[in-house]
Amino acid sequence: MENKQDNTFTIINDKGEEVQCEVLFTYTNEETSVDYIAYTDNTSDEEGNTKVYASIFNPEEENPVLLPIETDEEWELIEGILESLTENEEE
């Protein structure tokens, strides 16, 4: 993950292509000290919804590596944050 100052970064996808992504939010779980990042490549799914991805990362690294979120509890945490952000945007 190559980080840039404007809340965007570049990743290499499964096909070896560079993809520009936009950071939606970062979150540190105070209980576990795990850092999460939610981001989008600004593409849409079949229903027209913007695709959103989430990963574990270390913000202290110069070029952080994105690691998969593996537990249901972690996904529920990220989904809850996304829902609250979406609700705030709609108000």
Q: Could you tell me the mean pLDDT of each successive run of 10 residues in the chain, 91 residues long?
A: 70 92 94 95 93 94 91 94 81 61
DSSP category for residue 6: T
The answer to whether the beta carbons of residues 14 and 29 sit under 8 Å apart is no
What confidence score (pLDDT) does residue 90 get? 65
Residue range of the domain that includes 59: 2-83
**Would 28 be classed as within a structural domain?**
yes
Count: domains in the chain: 1
* Strands 34-40, 2-3: pairing kind: unpaired
Identify the pLDDT of residue 85.
Answer: 84
- Domain assignment of residue 91, yes or no: no
Unique residue bearing structure tokens 């849409």? 44
Look at residues 60, 56, 57, 58 and name the one whose alpha carbon lies nearest to residue 77: 56
Strands 53-56 and 34-40 come out as antiparallel
Q: Is residue 88 part of a domain?
A: no
pTM: 0.83
